[in-house]
């Protein structure tokens, strides 16, 4: 074949290709076209193979024409491919059309109890300040619940905390039962009862550990009481710091920091004298009302303050009881009701809601 | 303790406005709980803490109100009114029980005319919540309110032999108090007796046999000081509290007795007429004297963290008459720390600056099970179980269905013997502490079902009380649908495997190898769907479908699946796990499915064990993915389909090798468990 024939052939190939391109309507036919015209055994390759038959001066001319045709076909092919690709994607996408307003998959989920959430929050604040967490038994002896805590025997201070006692009423029968149920230690430490506060854990800790002691003790406590604001069982977090150089000013500082962490930085605290046998000076801690910010409302009884904590410097008699020298060490203790804090935090008005397991209540937390 | 401003003003000037006074009292430790009325007529209700018996009187409150204005209270002693006949002509007093009664004073008034007390007195008594009775009794109450000294008036006619003897009764004894109630008294109780027997329960309440009546003409007035502990013990045991016992048990001032008697005598003469005896009886052999007590400024600084000068401290303490010695009206002050509190109280808690302690670095410790507790709660809430917190109390009625088959057989006779019983329960529903959690969980299910809730899943991780121990139990209960009704997901009922799956997931979350489940029947579970739960070979609890008879007594409808386990072994097990990483395989795996027809009685566990027995180290996973019975299968057969994963850590396995191994497995299963390959 000579130069002219080849050029004509290229031209006719080009025309044919353009015609065929126009008819392509799928990625499959596009692939077939590519093989037929541009493949290793394709028509254009055939032409390029014939180049060797030409003379050296003719070869570049024909070669260039062939390449031009190839480039043209390739570029048209590519744009067609893009076009078809796009069409194909649109088709697939239209199949996947959804109504995004349909509800998402609902897997069942449970809820943590609000008291757990609040107790966790209280604990983490104190743990972050360096307090350890200790626990103790709900069934306690008179010694740990009262006597070691400087509650004088036969004094009305004991009636501040109405107590549940364990076992039958009569002494003889009672002792036998207690021996059987609670082992010999009960005989040493007086009648058994349900702890009225978690302070016994403080005594148990101080018996085992020398200062410095920085601890909190969360847990269930029991009082012989039942109405809208009192439950016969509720939860407390009590705390204790014993070290050299701790003062009433430190008590104020630590408890204010706690209150502001759990209820907000703007909150104010108020410390006023009160009485708990195991502390002296004793204090009641009020916070500015979380609902009315101290202006006065139904919840705070109009004076803008809410009672939230009991506290005080550990009574020297308590330290002496656990053989810590009150001349060398001072300390402070505090206690709060978890329910009380949860009620203020979440605006809950009936303490019984915590123990009824009403899902309408629990699923709000 | 109630008081009105105008009454208080008879003891101390009160220039403060009502609200200001209320605030100052509260900040000084005398919490104002309630105010009624305005101005002079305002009546305050104070919450007096049990250590401050001295504040159960206008006199005591006047001391505080005076101190808060920066002035100590000055009082003139009462002048005894004059009389005629010597007391010895009427009365002979003796005190065999000196410890119980350190001081006894008495005076006689002859010729009183009993009638209503004057208007002004009745109004004042009413304002502080005291009922008017007659002029003599009202006078005793009035003076008690003023001076804090409980007082009593006897009708002289009924004091046999004209004698008063303060003593216990040697034998248990029934005594009718003036409220008409018969009281069971013990030899530890203290009585005021006449020549024959008790006429008053000392310090608590007079007897019906000697009270002042309409025709009483001669009265014996008593002002005494009794041992606070004795009064408290008797009053508590008899559950009999009076305004008198409230004051005695908190400690009255033994040196204020005479003042009170003289004030009472004068007031009775004024309101009921009559003539007092010329003198009075006063038996007070061991006089209480103010105790010396010093407070160093260093101690104040050490406890409070503020520096106060010796002068400031002295001045503060003298406002309450506490400088150098402690007057007998403050029995609550027994050591230096009590004085520190008085200083802090009057200085003002609000004036003590807040500081933060400077402490050494330390690592806070937490209870050992705290971490596992949190994992348990978070895992179960993630699986749809809601956390409960129930009261620790329950009743035998709610407990018996569960403990009957949980207590060892030999203890059946007295299955309640290991329960913790309250001696003073609040109600029949709350007489024991929970020995199981399941009854409370059923309460919770019932509560919600009765409020139209059908799909419920609860868990509780709490102490139970049994045989002197308080172990943590995990209880779970579930009923209804597995997931909320919704589009795109077929409904599925909660079944035994929901709970089993949750327990297994929990074990996984606690890094434990898993739990065992063994068929076992319990009274309260449907026997065909009940099992015990095991951990490391030890039985730790049960799981199953609650028997319908049990559900009926809770009025619960539908199937309830539940479990209760001793949780502490899981926690302990979890703690001892040292997590170690296993190297990852570099080579791909090959999976083969296998469907076997086996006897109905053959458990899946046994089948899986048989598969694993054939392992040459290549089987990495065996997963049951289908189970069915019926259709064209014989009645006693079932079909189990497993997906088995083969892989090696050394090299890539070829298809041929795996085919060969899989074929060997099939042959093995056919031979060992009589499985037939289902095509
Ligand atoms: Zn408010």
Residues in chain B: 679
pLDDT in tens, B213-224: 999 999 999 999
| B620, containing H or E segment | strand B619-628
- CA A37 to mean position of chain CA atoms: 65
Asked if pLDDT for residue A169 goes beyond 50, the answer is: no
Last residue of a domain, one of A60, A95, A130: A95
Q: Are residues A354 and A337 in the same domain?
A: yes
Task: Check if the beta carbon of residue B176 is closer than 8 Å to that of residue B209.
Answer: yes
Question: Please, which pLDDT band fits residue A77 given cuts at 50, 70 and 90?
Answer: confident
Chain B contact probe: residue of A217, A249, A310 with most B CBs at under 10 A? A249
Q: What is the mean pLDDT of residues B312-334?
A: 93
To the nearest whole Å, the CA of B566 is away from the closest chain A CA by: 17
pLDDT in tens, B181-228: 999 999 999 999 999 999 999 999 999 999 999 999 999 999 999 999
Q: Report how far residue B447's alpha carbon sits from residue B445's, in angstroms, rounded to the nearest whole number.
A: 5
**A104 occurs within a structural domain:** no
* B3 alpha carbon – ligand 1 mean position (Å): 27
User: Which residues neighbour B513 within 8 Å (Cβ) at sequence distance 6 or greater?
Assistant: B507
How many other CB atoms are there within 10 angstroms of residue B228's CB atom?
22
Q: Are residues A86 and A164 in the same domain?
A: no
Q: Are residues A315 and A217 in the same domain?
A: yes
Burial class (CB in 10 A: 0-12, 13-18, 19+), A66: buried
Question: Helix, strand, coil % (nearest 5) of chain A?
Answer: 50, 20, 35
Chain A contact probe: residue of B247, B422, B491 with most A CBs at under 10 A? B422
Q: What is the mean pLDDT of residues A29-41?
A: 84
Cα–Cα distances (Å) from A240 to A251, B261, B304, B493, in that order, read 10, 47, 17, 50
- Can you list the alpha helix ranges (DSSP code H) found in B118-158? 119-127, 135-147
Answer whether A100 touches B (CB < 8 Å): no
Q: What is the pLDDT of residue A11?
A: 86
Question: Helix, strand, coil % (nearest 5) of chain B?
Answer: 35, 25, 40
* B249·A280 Cβ contact <8 A: no
Using CB atoms, pick whichever of B305, B366, B453 lies closest to residue A250.
B305
Q: Are residues A86 and A121 in the same domain?
A: no
User: Which residues neighbour B340 within 8 Å (Cβ) at sequence distance 6 or greater?
Assistant: A280, A281, B295, B299, B300, B303, B304
pLDDT in tens, B86-132: 999 999 999 999 999 999 999 999 999 999 999 999 999 999 999 99
Q: Report how far residue B560's alpha carbon sits from residue B449's, in angstroms, rounded to the nearest whole number.
A: 12
**A283 occurs within a structural domain:** yes
**A102 occurs within a structural domain:** no
Q: Are residues A118 and A75 in the same domain?
A: no
pLDDT in tens, A222-258: 998 877 778 999 999 999 999 999 999 999 999 999 9
* B356·A254 Cβ contact <8 A: yes
Asked if pLDDT for residue A184 goes beyond 80, the answer is: no
B contacts of A109 (beta carbons < 8 Å) = 381-382, 384
Last residue of a domain, one of A95, A128, A151: A95
Q: What is the pLDDT of residue A168?
A: 56
User: Which residues neighbour A132 within 8 Å (Cβ) at sequence distance 6 or greater?
Assistant: A214, A215, A216, B364, B365, B366
Q: What is the pLDDT of residue A303?
A: 84
Using CB atoms, pick whichever of A138, A249, A280 lies closest to residue B354.
A249
Residues in chain A: 365
Q: Are residues A303 and A339 in the same domain?
A: yes
Sign of the CA dihedral running A109, A112, A117, A123: negative
Asked if pLDDT for residue A170 goes beyond 60, the answer is: no
Q: Report how far residue B523's alpha carbon sits from residue B530's, in angstroms, rounded to the nearest whole number.
A: 10
Q: Report how far residue B388's alpha carbon sits from residue B365's, in angstroms, rounded to the nearest whole number.
A: 26
Q: Report how far residue A323's alpha carbon sits from residue A318's, in angstroms, rounded to the nearest whole number.
A: 9
CATH code of the domain covering residue A224: 3.30.930.10
* A330·B302 Cβ contact <8 A: yes
Q: Of A120-124, B377-381, B414-418, which range is least confident? A: B414-418
Q: Are residues A118 and A72 in the same domain?
A: no
Q: What is the mean pLDDT of residues B233-240?
A: 92
Q: What is the pLDDT of residue B612?
A: 93
pLDDT in tens, A143-158: 999 999 999 888 888 8
Question: Please, which pLDDT band fits residue A179 given cuts at 50, 70 and 90?
Answer: very low
Q: What is the pLDDT of residue A282?
A: 96
Using CB atoms, pick whichever of B304, B381, B489 lies closest to residue A248.
B304
**A101 occurs within a structural domain:** no
Question: Please, which pLDDT band fits residue B584 given cuts at 50, 70 and 90?
Answer: confident
**A17 occurs within a structural domain:** yes
Domains along chain B with CATH numbers: 2-69 (3.30.56.10), 87-283 (3.50.40.10), 297-349 (3.30.56.10), 368-573 (3.30.930.10), 590-677 (3.30.70.380)
Q: What is the mean pLDDT of residues B157-165?
A: 94
**A222 occurs within a structural domain:** yes
Asked if pLDDT for residue B414 goes beyond 70, the answer is: no
- CA neighbours closer than 13 Å in the CB half-sphere of residue B285: 9
Q: Are residues A127 and A271 in the same domain?
A: yes
Q: Report how far residue B505's alpha carbon sits from residue B514's, in angstroms, rounded to the nearest whole number.
A: 9
Q: Are residues A358 and A345 in the same domain?
A: yes
Task: Check if the beta carbon of residue B444 is closer than 8 Å to that of residue B475.
Answer: no
To the nearest whole Å, the CA of A13 is away from the closest chain B CA by: 50
Q: What is the mean pLDDT of residues B640-652?
A: 94
Asked if pLDDT for residue A172 goes beyond 60, the answer is: no
Q: Report how far residue B677's alpha carbon sits from residue B259's, in angstroms, rounded to the nearest whole number.
A: 108
Using CB atoms, pick whichever of B50, B344, B367 lies closest to residue A155.
B50
Q: Are residues A57 and A178 in the same domain?
A: no
Q: What is the pLDDT of residue B410?
A: 46
Q: Are residues A168 and A200 in the same domain?
A: no
Domain that residue A33 falls in: 3-95
Instruction: Give chain A's domain count.
Output: 3
- Report the share of chain B in percent with pLDDT over 70: 98
Q: Of A231-240, B374-383, B605-614, which range is least confident? A: B605-614
Q: Are residues A41 and A144 in the same domain?
A: no
Q: What is the pLDDT of residue B412?
A: 43
**A106 occurs within a structural domain:** no
pLDDT in tens, A260-305: 999 999 999 999 999 999 999 999 999 998 888 878 888 888 888 9
Q: What is the mean pLDDT of residues B293-304?
A: 94
- Report the share of chain A in percent with pLDDT over 70: 94
Answer whether A99 touches B (CB < 8 Å): no
Last residue of a domain, one of A95, A128, A163: A95
**A130 occurs within a structural domain:** yes
Asked if pLDDT for residue B150 goes beyond 50, the answer is: yes
B contacts of A146 (beta carbons < 8 Å) = none
Q: What mean pLDDT, rounded, does chain B reach?
A: 93
Q: What is the pLDDT of residue A191?
A: 83
CA-nearest residue to A364 within chain B is B386
Q: Report how far residue B569's alpha carbon sits from residue B575's, in angstroms, rounded to the nearest whole number.
A: 10
Q: DSSP label at B353?
A: P
Q: Report how far residue B320's alpha carbon sits from residue B329's, in angstroms, rounded to the nearest whole number.
A: 11
Q: What angle do CA A187, A190, A191 make, to 5 degrees?
A: 100
Q: What is the pLDDT of residue A299?
A: 82
Asked if pLDDT for residue A50 goes beyond 90, the answer is: no
A contacts of B443 (beta carbons < 8 Å) = 357
Asked if pLDDT for residue A187 goes beyond 60, the answer is: no
* B357·A253 Cβ contact <8 A: yes
ipTM for the whole complex: 0.90
Q: What is the pLDDT of residue B608?
A: 93
Asked if pLDDT for residue A38 goes beyond 60, the answer is: yes
Task: Check if the beta carbon of residue B32 is closer than 8 Å to that of residue B45.
Answer: yes
Beta-bridge partners for B192:
B166, B200
């Amino acid at each position: 074949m000579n130069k002219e024939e080849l050029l004509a052939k290229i031209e006719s190939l080009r025309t044919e290709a353009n015609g065929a391109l126009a008819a392509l309507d799928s990625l499959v036919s596009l692939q077939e076209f590519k093989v037929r015209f541009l493949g290793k055994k394709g028509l254009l390759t055939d032409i390029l193979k014939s180049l060797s038959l030409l003379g050296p001066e003719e070869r570049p001319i024909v070669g260039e024409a062939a390449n031009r045709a190839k480039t043209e076909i390739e570029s048209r092919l590519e744009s067609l491919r893009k076009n078809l690709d796009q069409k194909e994607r649109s088709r697939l996408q239209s199949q996947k059309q959804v109504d995004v307003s349909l509800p998402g998959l609902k897997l069942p989920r449970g809820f943590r109890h609000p008291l757990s959430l609040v107790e966790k929050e209280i604990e983490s604040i104190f743990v972050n300040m360096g307090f350890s967490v200790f626990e103790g038994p709900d069934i306690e002896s008179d010694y740990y619940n009262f006597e070691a805590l400087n509650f004088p025997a036969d004094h009305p201070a004991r009636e501040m905390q109405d107590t549940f006692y364990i076992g039958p009423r009569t002494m003889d029968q009672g002792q036998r039962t207690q021996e059987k149920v609670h082992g010999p230690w009960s005989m040493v430490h007086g009648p058994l009862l349900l702890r009225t506060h978690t302070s016994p854990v403080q005594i148990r800790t101080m018996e085992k550990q020398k200062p410095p002691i920085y601890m909190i003790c969360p847990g269930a406590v029991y009082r012989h009481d039942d109405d809208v604001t009192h439950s016969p069982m509720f939860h407390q977090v009590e705390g204790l710091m014993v070290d050299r150089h701790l003062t009433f000013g430190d008590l104020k500082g630590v408890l204010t920091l706690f209150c502001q962490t759990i209820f907000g930085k703007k909150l104010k605290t108020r410390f006023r004298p009160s009485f708990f046998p195991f502390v002296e000076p004793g204090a009641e801690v009020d916070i500015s009302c979380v609902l009315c910010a101290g202006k006065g409302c139904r919840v705070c009884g109009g004076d803008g303050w809410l009672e939230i904590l009991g506290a005080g410097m550990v009574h020297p008699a308590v330290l002496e009881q656990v053989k810590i020298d009150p001349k060398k060490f001072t300390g402070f203790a505090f206690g709060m009701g978890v329910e009380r804090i949860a009620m203020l935090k979440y605006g809950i008005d009936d303490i019984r809601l915590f123990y009824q397991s009403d899902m309408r209540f629990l699923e709000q937390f | 303790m109630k008081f009105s401003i105008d009454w208080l003003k008879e003891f101390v000037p009160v220039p403060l406005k009502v609200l200001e006074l209320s605030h100052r009292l509260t900040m000084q430790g005398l919490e104002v709980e309630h105010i009624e009325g305005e101005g002079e007529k305002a009546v305050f209700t104070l919450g007096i803490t049990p250590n401050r018996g001295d504040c159960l009187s206008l006199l005591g409150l006047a001391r505080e109100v005076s101190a808060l204005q920066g002035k100590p209270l000055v009082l003139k002693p009462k002048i005894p009114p004059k009389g005629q006949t010597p007391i010895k002509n009427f009365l002979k007093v003796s005190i065999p029980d000196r410890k119980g009664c350190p001081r006894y004073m008495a005076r006689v008034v002859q010729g009183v005319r009993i009638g209503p007390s004057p208007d002004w007195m009745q109004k004042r008594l009413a304002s502080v919540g005291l009922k008017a009775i007659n002029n003599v009794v009202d006078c005793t109450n009035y003076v008690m309110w003023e001076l804090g000294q409980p007082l009593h008036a006897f009708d002289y006619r009924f004091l046999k032999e004209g004698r008063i003897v303060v003593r216990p009764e040697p034998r248990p004894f029934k005594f009718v108090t003036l409220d008409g109630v018969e009281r069971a008294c013990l030899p530890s109780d203290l009585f005021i007796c006449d020549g024959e027997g008790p006429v008053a329960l000392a310090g608590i309440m007079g007897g019906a046999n000697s009270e002042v009546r309409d025709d009483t003409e001669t009265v014996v007035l008593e002002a005494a000081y009794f041992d606070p502990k004795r009064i408290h013990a008797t009053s508590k045991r008899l559950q009999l509290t009076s305004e008198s016992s409230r004051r005695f048990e908190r400690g009255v001032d033994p040196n204020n007795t005479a003042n009170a008697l003289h004030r009472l005598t004068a007031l009775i003469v004024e309101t009921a007429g009559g003539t007092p005896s010329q003198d009075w009886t006063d038996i007070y052999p061991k006089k209480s004297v103010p105790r010396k007590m010093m407070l160093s400024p260093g101690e104040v600084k050490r406890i409070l963290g503020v520096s106060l000068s010796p002068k400031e401290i002295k001045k503060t303490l003298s406002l309450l008459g506490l400088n150098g010695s402690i007057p007998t009206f403050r029995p609550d002050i027994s050591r230096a720390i009590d004085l520190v509190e008085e200083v802090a109280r009057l200085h003002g808690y609000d004036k003590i600056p807040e500081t933060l302690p400077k402490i050494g670095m330390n690592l806070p410790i937490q209870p050992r099970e705290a971490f596992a507790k949190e994992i348990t709660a978070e895992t179960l809430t993630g699986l749809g179980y809601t956390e409960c917190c129930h009261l620790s109390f329950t009743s035998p009625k709610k407990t018996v269905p569960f403990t009957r088959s949980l207590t060892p057989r030999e203890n059946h006779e007295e299955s309640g013997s290991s329960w913790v019983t309250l001696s003073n329960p609040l109600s029949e529903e709350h007489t024991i502490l929970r020995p199981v959690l399941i009854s409370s969980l059923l309460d919770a299910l019932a509560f919600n079902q009765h409020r139209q809730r059908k799909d419920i899943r609860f868990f509780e991780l709490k102490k139970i009380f049994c045989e002197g121990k308080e172990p943590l139990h995990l209880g779970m209960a579930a009923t209804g649908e597995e997931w909320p009704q919704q589009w795109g997901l077929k409904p599925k009922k909660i079944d035994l495997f929901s709970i089993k799956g949750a327990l297994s997931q929990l074990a996984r979350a606690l890094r434990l190898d898993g739990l065992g489940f063994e068929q076992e029947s319990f009274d309260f579970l449907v026997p065909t769907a009940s099992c015990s739960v095991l951990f490391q070979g030890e039985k730790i609890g049960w799981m199953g479908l609650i028997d319908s008879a049990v559900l009926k007594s809770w009025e619960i409808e539908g199937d309830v699946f539940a479990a209760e386990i001793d949780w502490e072994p899981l926690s302990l097990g979890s703690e001892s796990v040292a997590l170690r990483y296993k190297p990852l395989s570099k080579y791909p795996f090959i999976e083969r499915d296998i469907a076997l027809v086996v006897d109905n009685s053959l458990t899946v566990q046994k089948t899986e064990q048989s598969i694993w027995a054939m392992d040459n180290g290549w089987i990495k996973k065996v997963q049951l993915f289908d189970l069915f019975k019926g259709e064209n299968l014989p009645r006693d057969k079932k079909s189990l389909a497993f997906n088995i994963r083969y892989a090696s850590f050394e090299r890539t396995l070829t298809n041929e090798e795996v085919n060969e191994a899989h074929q060997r497995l099939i042959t093995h299963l056919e031979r060992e468990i009589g499985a037939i390959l289902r095509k």
